[in-house]
Structure 1
Amino acid sequence: MRKRRLWAVAPIAVLTLSGTSVAAAGAEPSPPRTNIVGGVPATETYSFMASLQEGGQHGCGGSLVAPSWVVTAEHCGQPEQVRVGTQNWNSGGEVRPVASRQVVGGDLALLKLTLPSTQKPIPIATSAPAGAATRLIGWGQTCPQPGCGQPPVQLQQLDTAIIDDAKCKDIEGATELCIDGGNGKGACYGDSGGPAVTGGPGSWQLVGATSRGDRVCAQGPSIYNDVTAYRAQILQIIGGTPAAAR
Structure 2
Amino acid sequence: MRGRSSLIAAVVAVLVATAAPAAAGPRIVGGGVATGDYPWIVAIYDGGGVHYCGGSLFRARWVITAAHCVDTPEPTGGPGDMKLRVGSKDLRRGGVTVGWERAIRHPRYDGDKYVHDIALIKLARPVAERRSVDLAPNRDWDGEVLTLLGWGQTCPAYQCDRGSRVLKALEARALSPGACHSRATGFEPDTELCLDSTPQATACYGDSGGPALWRGDGTWRLVGVTTHGSESCGDEDTIHTKVPAYRNWLNATTEGH
Shared fold (TM-score, shorter chain, > 0.5): yes
Contact (CA 8 Å) 1:126, 1:231: kept in 2 or not? no
What residue number does 2:177 align with?
A: 165
- Give secondary structure in 2 for the equivalent of 1:92: coil
TM-score (norm 1): 0.83
Aligned pair partner of 1:43 in 23, 35, 50: 35
- Give secondary structure in 2 for the equivalent of 1:111: strand
Following superposition, which runs of at least 4 residues in structure 1 exceed 3 angstroms of deviation? none
What residue number does 1:152 align with?
A: 164
CA distance in 2 between partners of 1:202 and 1:99 (Å)? 34
Check 1:68–1:188 CA distance in 2 against 1; reply closer, same or farther (3 A cut): same
CA RMSD across the alignment: 2.1
Check 1:185–1:73 CA distance in 2 against 1; reply closer, same or farther (3 A cut): same
Q: Does 2:249 align with 1:237?
A: no
* Amino acid paired to 2:153: Q
CA distance in 2 between partners of 1:229 and 1:201 (Å)? 19
* Amino acid paired to 2:200: G
- Give secondary structure in 1 for the equivalent of 2:188: coil
What residue number does 1:113 align with?
A: 123
CA distance in 2 between partners of 1:199 and 1:73 (Å)? 22
Number of residues paired by the alignment? 218
Which consecutive unaligned segments of at least 5 residues does structure 2 have?
1-7, 22-26, 76-81, 110-115
What residue number does 1:75 align with?
A: 68
1:59-98 equivalence runs, <5 A: 59-77=52-70, 80-98=82-100
What residue number does 2:133 align with?
A: 122
CA distance in 2 between partners of 1:151 and 1:233 (Å)? 35
CA distance in 1 between partners of 2:63 and 2:171 (Å)? 22
Contact (CA 8 Å) 2:199, 2:233: kept in 1 or not? no
CA distance in 1 between partners of 2:197 and 2:156 (Å)? 13
What residue number does 2:220 align with?
A: 204
- Relative to its length, the structure with more strand (as a share) is 1
1:107 shift after superposition = 1.1
